[in-house]
């Protein structure tokens, strides 16, 4: 370190430092204009005087703003920074900050294995991963931000937890979800009647990828709740149609052509500034949290890239979308099954309308319609 202000040396002989800016540096740079003392280093710190509680209190007439390190001034006998202010010594309680929770990454999923991924975060010394929400029993991953888990069951959804940590403690847990399933395989789900599924049934869903416009995504090949894949674009059967949902609502509805199940009071007004929230997404609730409804952009992309101009395009694609109809906005009655297809996105148009894919024998496009209408759900995952 170079002491580069000659006036400082001269004034020291006089017993006083006055009108001098002091720069202690390794690169001969001048002191900042706002500072009387400017210490610059990227490898060493500034050390205040160290003393005991008794020694600190023995300082005669301490000036306001005087700072020392008191080695035993806390109630447990440990040290702290002491500041003389307002006529008394104050112990400064510094904070020790743990890192923030690491963001969830994109997981690599296959039949019996998931490679879990998360992102690094500032001030984390390392990461811990666990199958349960228990930091104490978690596996220490060091600075690695990936974990390969094997021996999983194909088609099963899994929830895992990861924390960042440092000497101040752990972050909040990041909850990660994945499914052991390569796209192109089938998986079976037992749906139980309740607040999402309208009836109890077991459905085996096929999956497909490489759909033009969204080639990296994985899609189911039948409507959510459908007992079978449609046999024709104009298939008007209930077993091919699957279930219907109002926008941003959990409850699904079955319609056999005569009756709606559940036959509860139909919601006739939805006015809210919200996309479809993940906690209400029937794809995530019924298939596992890796699944979701498509976005407005995803429907737009597959419609455009597939050159869909009529219902022939959606049905002849790998998605096998067909005219499953809709439930009317005023009373939930069935309409246009066998002649029109309506498939929700998870994006609203405005407070009362939302985007969806629409097609019939003469058109295929992404439109907006009232949120109270009941449309089909086709699920996708990244």
So what's the pLDDT on residue 19?
A: 52
At 316-344, the pLDDT tens digits run: 999 999 999 999 999 999 999 999 999 99
3-state secondary structure 51-62: ECHHHHHCCCCC
Rounded CA gap, 97 and 46, in Å? 21
So what's the pLDDT on residue 9?
A: 42
Residues 6+ apart with CB under 8 A from 346: 275, 276, 281, 292, 293, 294, 295
What is the helix (H) or strand (E) element at residue 270, kind and residue range?
A: none
At 345-367, the pLDDT tens digits run: 999 999 999 999 999 999 999 99
**Domain ranges, ordered by start, for the chain:** 1-45, 47-94, 108-179, 187-381
Mean of pLDDT over the chain: 90
* pLDDT for 297 beyond 70: yes
* pLDDT for 144 beyond 70: yes
So what's the pLDDT on residue 364?
A: 98
So what's the pLDDT on residue 33?
A: 83
Higher-confidence position of 280 and 73: 280
Rounded CA gap, 264 and 62, in Å? 77
At 192-225, the pLDDT tens digits run: 999 999 999 999 999 999 999 999 899 999 999 9
Q: Classify domain 108-179 by CATH architecture.
A: Sandwich (2.60)
Higher-confidence position of 174 and 75: 174
């Amino acid at each position: 370190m170079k002491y580069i202000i000659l006036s400082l040396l001269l004034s020291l002989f006089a017993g006083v430092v006055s009108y001098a800016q002091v720069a202690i540096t390794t690169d001969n740079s001048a002191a900042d204009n706002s500072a009387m003392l400017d210490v610059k280093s990227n490898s060493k710190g500034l050390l205040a005087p160290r003393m005991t509680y008794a020694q600190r209190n023995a300082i005669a007439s301490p000036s306001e703003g005087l700072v020392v390190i008191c080695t035993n001034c806390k109630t447990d006998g440990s040290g702290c920074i002491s500041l003389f202010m307002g006529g008394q010594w104050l112990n400064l309680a510094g904070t020790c900050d743990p890192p923030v929770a690491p963001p969830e990454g994109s997981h690599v999923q296959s039949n019996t294995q998931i490679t879990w991924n998360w992102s690094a975060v500032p001030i984390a010394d390392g990461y811990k991963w666990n199958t349960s929400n228990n930091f104490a029993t978690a596996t220490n991953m060091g600075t690695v931000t990936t974990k390969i888990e094997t021996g999983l069951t194909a088609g099963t959804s899994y929830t895992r937890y990861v924390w960042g940590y440092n000497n101040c403690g752990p972050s909040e847990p990041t909850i990660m979800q994945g499914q052991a399933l390569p796209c192109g395989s089938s998986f079976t789900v037992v749906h139980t009647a309740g607040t999402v599924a309208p009836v109890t049934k077991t459905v085996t869903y096929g999956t497909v990828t490489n759909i033009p416009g969204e080639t990296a995504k994985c899609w189911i090949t039948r409507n959510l709740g459908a007992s079978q894949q449609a046999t024709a674009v104009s298939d008007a059967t209930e077993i091919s149609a699957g279930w219907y949902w109002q926008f941003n609502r959990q409850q699904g509805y079955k319609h056999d052509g005569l009756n709606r199940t559940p036959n509860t009071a139909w919601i006739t007004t939805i006015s809210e500034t919200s996309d479809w929230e993940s906690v209400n997404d029937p794809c995530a609730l019924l298939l596992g949290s890796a699944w979701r409804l498509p976005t407005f952009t995803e429907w737009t992309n597959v419609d455009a890239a597939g050159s869909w101009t009529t219902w022939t395009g959606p049905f002849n694609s790998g998605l096998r979308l067909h005219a499953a109809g809709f439930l009317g906005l005023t009373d939930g009655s069935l309409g246009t099954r066998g002649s029109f297809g309506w498939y929700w996105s998870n994006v609203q148009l405005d407070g009362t309308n939302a985007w969806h894919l629409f097609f019939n024998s003469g058109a295929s496009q992404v439109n907006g319609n009232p949120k109270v209408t009941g449309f089909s759900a086709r699920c996708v995952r990244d």
